[in-house]
Amino acid sequence: MIVGVPKENFPGENRVALVPANIAALKKAGIEVSIEKGAGSDAGYPDSAFTEKGAKTTDSRADLFHSADIVLFVRALGANPQAGKSDLELMKKAQIIIGAMEPLSEPDSLKLLAEKGVTAYAMELMPRITRAQSMDILSSMATIAGYKAVLLAANALPRMFPMMMTAAGTISPAHAFIVGAGVAGLQAIASAKRLGAVVHAYDVRPAVKEQVESLGGKFVELQLDTGDAETKGGYAKEMGEEVLRKQREMMFKVVADSDVVITTAAIPGKKAPILVTADMVKGMKPGSVIIDLAAERGGNCELTKPGETVDLDGVKIIGPINLPSTVPYHASQMYSKNLTNFLTLLVKDGAAQINSDDEVLAATMVTRDGQVISKG
């Protein structure tokens, strides 16, 4: 059983799907590893680090695909809609493809994979169950994004985060407001608190109040009837427009009083909900900063432009894209561990076990035997 790891060809993608530290675990499972030369260089993992652990390297991407039974991607076709198509002609029937694929928003890409006869596993569909936590790439990458969002905000803000008592006077702390207390939001709360900010947070799921407070944040109570705001999988549900309107009205003052606003609200496969309006931005002090982690999904702020910084009367709205790729060493480490755990579930005694009765494998499989497997 050979696992191939190609160099990522999505523009600006610096991560690699497998790091050298996980090769030993794959060997124990009867898996050999082949790496395209330079695959890990941008993430800080030279070819020599892979070969020292027993991996083979190849100059040819075509040869890598030809020899591999399983191919690991950070961004497979779907999550890499342009350059990813060039790999289609290299794939072979019955090959297994594993990676991020944007299956809910890019269904046409799944059809192309099905036509090649490959068995594809989209890691974004990992079920939110206890035994799958160690394979959950969304949580891993959200952790990176939440951390980096705070650093971006601290760098853009014309003031410091912590309170300081100095001979030149007392510096008051910055006030940060985190919207959405999922994995990214909780990491943003923890990181902003560590830097010394006064942190407030809000989520439509009242149950996360305890988690927010355990990290030193103050939970903002908005008296809204959100009903059952959480799916069975642990994600926030899409709220109706009336609930969103009332939510925005109640958030107005909190946003105005904040130096930093970090928004993290996303609904899988849907456009991100607008939570911060242009009027709310106008109510913020000049020099304030908004970091919109939902920029790639259209943004939680009405003024967000993905990949750009918008300035409205001195308030910066930053719409970062692919934040995990800006911390590629540790992002790759976490992603690789997720995939390694998945592979050791999939491969037994040196052979892939296509087990549709396993909840994890069944939930993530999106193509098999020339067919797209519907997820609803």
Out of 128, 159, 194, 358, which one is annotated catalytic? Answer: 128
Pairing of strands 309-312, 169-171: unpaired
Distance CA 200, CA 176 (A): 6
Give strand pairing partners of 298: none
Closest by Cα among 63, 94, 64, 97 to 80: 97
Beta-sheet pairing, 56-58 with 32-36: parallel
Catalytic residue (choose from 34, 95, 109, 139): 139
Contact 92, 2 (CB under 8 A): no
Q: Is 15 a catalytic residue?
A: no
Of 147, 149, 106, the C-alpha closest to 125 is 106
Sign of CA pseudo-dihedral 90, 61, 124, 325: negative
| Tokens of residue 288, six digits | 């304030």
Residue 279 appears among annotated catalytic residues: no
108 is catalytic: no
State the catalytic residue, choosing from 235, 257, 329, 358. 235
The reply to whether 133 belongs to the active site is yes
Backbone angles phi, psi at 59, to 5 degrees: -75, -25
Greatest extent of the chain over all pairs of C-alpha atoms, in Å:
72
Which member of 42, 69, 87, 136 is catalytic?
136
Whether residue 333 lies in the annotated active site: no
Identify the active-site residue in 133, 159, 194, 257: 133
In contact, 333 and 21? CB cutoff 8 Å: yes
Q: Hey, what long-range contacts does 270-274 have (CB within 8 A, 24 or more apart)? A: 270/238, 270/297, 271/297, 271/298, 272/297, 272/298, 272/299, 272/300, 273/238, 273/239, 273/244, 273/300, 274/244, 274/248, 274/299, 274/300, 274/301, 274/302
CB-based contact 81:87 (threshold 8 Å): no
Q: Active-site residue numbers?
A: 128, 133, 136, 139, 235
